[in-house]
Structure 1
């Protein structure tokens, strides 16, 4: 069990304490003052910027309005460099990360109280008990305090889990749990649905799906006829999420969800699929681990371990975006060099363009990189074919996937 942290505040003449809870890893605030409907946004923003947390005791909807007003003040005061003043896409990325981190810290200092049973103890507050139980686990015997911003994320995730995300490649919906990367960017799922299966996999498998998350890629492989898919993840939330989705889709007879510290399960497979986090940078919280992979650790673990886990004639499918290259976080050719160094050969590469809204948003600080982004499925084999060089081809050897 993780260490319990407590926060203290004075209300009237009495001192109060409560358990501090943060899924993002935000440290317990050292100074807390009570705030209510009389608090204006300018004062709240100033106090939060100074490091003081505000424990809200007023109306729930007023708290949400205050949070939005604080956000507008943060955005207005965030320094922005003119395009000519930004020396590189890498600098733009780090500026955006710093601004995002500052925004999260300031807005995260507006706090709300939860009773021991996860009841939100505010006037006109919704019933958040089910959403909190799914995100935080069973109630503990003591009240707690959480960031309102985080709680709104919990409520949003609860709605996404109930509604699900439509996955055309499955003809069904996937239901992401809180803290599990959601398959809202469907282009990588389409690549796995359309790429030609290697011979052994086309005859039934087996296949591995590494870092399965919601289980969406494992489900796609099973629907394509692979009789046994082993899907792994070291995140307990992802394991529970994948099992629930696989069960809902009626695929428990084909898909086995495994947990553990090793990326690869024991043995060899006809097909090994890996969709690691695409950006080699440090996540600011546990919730960002689906996007950021420090120093590309998961990517390199997949490449260096792939050959010894492939059956003869099998393939490893690496699904990667080149956004890191456009941002200067990974050098051009670095990925190809890592593939060669691992003793692997690129049998083919299928490219597609992302179609998420941010790729077409010129107001996004990283718009130029996102607009140029390509998502690729690299078909890797163990060693070069006879009579061919070991180096991977410099570009795609297949046309973009249909519908890209």
Structure 2
């Protein structure tokens, strides 16, 4: 953490915290209920942060008013899907920077001392851990922390499990059930006699739970993120699967070999802006390549690797099918089969999205990979 400074009858300071990688504000002014949206928006665009000391609900209204002003500059469709995607991502980063200039102050007990403020202590403690003094955060981020706590409490229903999975803050939630259904329906290798399976990049642990429910003897789930590992352990316990699912990390592959190795890497080969982006962006396709290059040496005879991957990157022009197949072949693997499914998420129906046609055509596949046997 770094430190921000401001004057409020006297010089004051607080630690700065940003999960989304927002830069440290260099200039901070105090704002309250008298602050007009036009002024707040201008100051934020100029790089000045506003530390809110008024009514919490008024702060939310101000943030919405600022967001409407940012939205007026949203890009439309460009010449190619790849350029449209890049422009949209650049705009989202700009929007996050502007809205991230409206700050609130959390005390050492994770509380928020503002009129009509909700009790955020549990949500903040779960997301950020212990404080050793006051901490300044963007209001937009705090609202995300509050929302994540609600998701964690109520859970996400997963039809393939007929049960709830509870995502933690910063862990990708399994709201897109189609990829989970593929893992639930694909024929298990070795005639169904799968003694050990690896789930690489487990996240909430949803795919590990599906494999365990399908009768796999032992599922070893890995993740680079400590938050994800804690989340997967929590869900395994909630589902009564702690005797079957073991969570480890941060290495991608655990020790030993498996009859089945499942990997659902981030689908977009781009640089994540922060740790919160790791569920979507795979810098340089590194996780995908690591899964493929390590698979042959980790499979038991007759075993399979299941690559669960959307073709959205291909449709955006960020990766080609030829590049994917070349990576498979270079790893000494072959495609034994493939199952496809279409997306069912809400963005498919959003005709105002400049990338609507690309998202509507998206296909998610489960690629069944086996080791190429040397010729006699």
The question of whether the paired residues in 2 share the 8 Å contact of 1:119 and 1:127 is answered with yes
Give yes or no for the alignment of 1:245 onto 2:242.
no
Q: Offset at 1:334?
A: 1.3
Q: 1:248 and 1:284, CA in 2 relative to 1: closer, same or farther beyond 3 A?
A: same
User: 2: distance between equivalents of 1:115 and 1:370?
Assistant: 43
* Structure 2 equivalent of residue 168 of structure 1: 159
Report if aligned partners of 2:194, 2:260 keep a CA contact under 8 Å in 1: no
- What is the CA distance between 1:26 and its match in structure 2? 1.2
Q: How far apart are residue 365 of structure 1 and its match?
A: 2.2
Counterpart for residue 324 of structure 1: 313
* 1:370 has 2:359 as partner: yes
2:290 aligned with 1:301: yes
Distance 2:303 2:193 in 1: 11
Q: 1:141 offset after TM fit, Å?
A: 2.6
Q: What is the rounded CA distance, in whole Å, between the counterparts of 1:247 and 1:190 in structure 2?
A: 22
Distance 1:144 1:207 in 2: 42
- Per the alignment, residue 288 of structure 1 pairs with 277
Work out the CA distance in 1 between the residues paired with 2:374 and 2:348.
37
- 1:7: which partner in 2? 4
Distance in 2, Cα, partners of 1:232 & 1:146: 30
Q: Is the 8 A contact 1:114 1:146 kept in 2?
A: yes
- TM superposition score normalised by structure 2: 0.98
Which runs of no fewer than 5 residues in structure 2 stay unpaired? none
Per-residue CA deviation, residues 136-183 of structure 1 (Å, 9 max, x unaligned), is 012x23111110000000000000000000001111000000000100
Match of 1:258 in 2: 248
Q: 1:345 aligns with which of 334, 344, 360?
A: 334
Written as runs of structure 1 = structure 2, the 5 A alignment for 1:41-190 is 41-78=37-74, 80-81=75-76, 83=77, 86-138=78-130, 140-190=131-181
- Is the Cα contact below 8 Å between 1:96 and 1:365 reproduced in 2? no
How far apart in 2 are the matches of 1:283 and 1:365? Answer: 22
**Using the alignment, how far apart are the partners of 1:373 and 1:30 within structure 2?**
42
Distance, in Å, in 2 between the alignment partners of 1:385 and 1:318 is 23
CA distance in 2, matches of 1:320, 1:45: 40
User: Deviation above 2 Å: which 4+ runs of structure 1?
Assistant: 384-387
1:280, 1:105 → 2: CA distance? 23
Matches of 1:354 and 1:204, distance apart in 2: 29
Q: Aligned residue for 1:398?
A: none
User: 1:385: how far off?
Assistant: 9.0
Look up the match of 1:395: none
Does the residue aligned with 1:77 lie in a helix, a strand or coil?
A: coil
Partner of 2:221: 231
Query: Aligned equivalents of 1:365 and 1:111: distance in 2?
Result: 31
Gaps of 5+ in 1: 388-404
Instruction: Give 1:87 shift.
Output: 1.9
CA 24–205 in structure 1, closer or farther in 2 if over 3 Å, else same:
same
- Displacement of 1:332 in angstroms is 3.2
1:26 paired residue among 22, 40, 45: 22
Aligned to 1:219: 209
Does the Cα contact within 8 Å between 2:188 and 2:194 map onto a contact in 1?
A: no
| Partner-residue secondary structure (3-state), 2:6 | strand
RMSD over aligned Cα atoms: 1.2
Cα deviation per residue 1:37-66 (whole Å; 9 max; x = unaligned)? Answer: 000110000000000000000000000000
- In the alignment, the residues of structure 1 paired with residue 297 and residue 122 of structure 2 have an alpha-carbon distance, to the nearest angstrom, of 44
Residues 24, 286 of structure 1: 8 Å contact kept: yes
Q: Give the TM-score normalised by the residue count of structure 1.
A: 0.91
Q: Does structure 1 conserve the Cα–Cα contact (< 8 Å) formed by 2:266 and 2:279?
A: yes
Q: Cα deviations across residues 100-119 of structure 1 (Å, max 9, x unaligned)?
A: 00000000000001111011
- Mapped to 2, the partners of 1:114 and 1:263 lie a distance apart of 36
Give, in whole Å, the separation in 2 of the partners of 1:144 and 1:332. Answer: 46
- 1:118–1:132 CA contact under 8 A, matched in 2: yes
2-structure distance, mates of 1:335, 1:259:
26
Tell me the CA shift for residue 336 of structure 1: 1.1
